[in-house]
Structure 1
Amino acid sequence: MTRIAILGTGSVATTLAGPLVASGHSVVLGSRLPGGTVPVAGTTVQPFADAVQQAAVVVNALPGDAAVAVLSGLPVPGGAVLVDVANAVHTGPDGLATGLRYPGGSLAEELQRALPAARVVKTLNTMHVSLMVRPAAPVTAFLSGDDADAKAVVRTLLTDLGWASDRVLDLGGLVTARWVEGFAPAIGPTVRALGPVPFGLAIAH
């Protein structure tokens, strides 16, 4: 059993929390305003700082434009695996990405700079939330990170989320997060071409 803190209580956080609880993990959701109904059975909701204090894994499911500011002020334990599933983008009137907030870099790298004692791994940011768990479509889950052991932890969590091993692709170091985050501005044109259908990036091999 791993203690996992998922920061956020939106659709991404709640989608990931259920299967992780079912796999035997202890999951707490971090919220800016905890209270009210617990959104996922088997979890608790705590303030951000309380949620991360004893977590072995912290999942950034916050909006990408707020993630660095929020996480840089939290007591994330040294050595914790920080799983970044967010995209940091500028958006247009339709809410879709028009550009990257960290051109020439990545949100994942900014989080690593803000929390140098954590071990950041980027994954699951290239697909609609409905495909993050037991994906029906043949999408690919990419891994980017500088720590091999941290990436092994995330691989195991992806298995718990219903991912087949041959659909998980390790791209290498954290610098490769620039490539997967670069997919975000393509979402708007794709939605306009296909309509609001769930889709994600896939590598055919």
Structure 2
Amino acid sequence: MTTIAVLGNGRVGGNLAAALTRAGHEVTVAGREPGAAADAARTARVVINATPGAGSLERLAALRDELHGKILVDVSNATTDGPDGLPADLIHPGSSLAEQLQEALPETHVVKTLNTMLFPVMTAPATLTQPPTVFLSGEAPPAKETVRELLTDLGWRKEWITDLGGIRTARAAEAAILFVPHVIRTSGFTPFAISIAR
């Protein structure tokens, strides 16, 4: 059992919190109430960033003390929205939200994952008709191993998990969000994930 704080109680955060609780972990969900995120992060071993990506950097940088020595799992995408509300462009071109978080939180082990799919797939990957891929980016191998174990608890098979390397590789995974609006416009909100076929 791992103590986990999920920051963000929307569809993504709520979905992850429910699945991780079912898997036997001790999960706390922090909404937007003042101090809630700090309290949740302080007592957790793993903190999941499921806050809207456009404000994540500022919100999490304020938790530097609470996140010291913790594993920060970043599942958000930092984008600007187009007129239809779908992602239109990256906020950190030539970088990534995960890299910006790691720079702002040098004593925190940032791991990027689960950001290349619609949210239902995060906790039910086997429901797709073809094997999906989930990516890992981060500097600390022990932190990535912990996240790998959590992914397994969410239903991800070992062969579906691809470690891309250091945190700099997160910019490639985050750029995949630019596929999403086009896929949604042609196919609707049917669950899908970016997958590497071998």
TM over 0.5, yes or no?
A: yes
Greater shift, 61-70 or 46-55, is seen at 46-55
1:55 equivalent among 44, 48, 52: 44
Write out per-residue CA displacement over residues 157-181 of structure 1, whole angstroms, 9 at most, x where no aligned residue.
Answer: 0011111111111011111100010
Equivalent position of 1:128 in the other structure: 118
Paired amino acid for 1:28: T
SS in 1 for 2:95: coil
Write out per-residue CA displacement over residues 97-128 of structure 1, whole angstroms, 9 at most, x where no aligned residue.
Answer: 11100000000001111111100000000000
* Alpha-carbon distance in structure 2 between the residues aligned to 1:31 and 1:195: 29
What value does the CA root-mean-square deviation take over the aligned residues? 1.3
SS in 1 for 2:27: strand
Q: TM-score, normalization: structure 1?
A: 0.91
1:157 equivalent among 135, 150, 153: 150
Q: CA deviation at 1:184?
A: 1.0
* Alpha-carbon distance in structure 1 between the residues aligned to 2:188 and 2:18: 28
Paired amino acid for 2:88: T
* Alpha-carbon distance in structure 2 between the residues aligned to 1:162 and 1:120: 22
Equivalent position of 2:174 in the other structure: 181
Paired amino acid for 2:150: L
Equivalent position of 1:101 in the other structure: 91
2:184 equivalent among 179, 183, 191: 191
Paired amino acid for 1:30: A
The runs of 5 or more residues in structure 2 that have no matched partner are: none
Paired amino acid for 2:182: P
Q: CA deviation at 1:19?
A: 2.0
Q: Is residue 26 from structure 1 mapped to residue 3 from structure 2 by the alignment? A: no
Q: CA deviation at 1:78?
A: 2.1
Identify the structure with the greater helix proportion.
2
Q: Structure 2 vs 1, CA of residues 96 and 116 (structure 1 numbering), >3 Å: closer, same or farther?
A: same
Equivalent position of 1:43 in the other structure: none
Equivalent position of 1:85 in the other structure: 75
Q: TM-score, normalization: structure 2?
A: 0.94
Q: Percent identity?
A: 48
Equivalent position of 2:11 in the other structure: 11
Equivalent position of 1:41 in the other structure: none
Instruction: Tell me the matched-pair count.
Output: 194
Q: CA deviation at 1:190?
A: 1.5
The runs of 5 or more residues in structure 1 that have no matched partner are: 35-45
Write out per-residue CA displacement over residues 40-93 of structure 1, whole angstroms, 9 at most, x where no aligned residue.
Answer: xxxxxx711111012110000000001011101113342211000000001111
The answer to whether the Cα contact below 8 Å between 1:8 and 1:61 also exists between their aligned partners in 2 is: yes
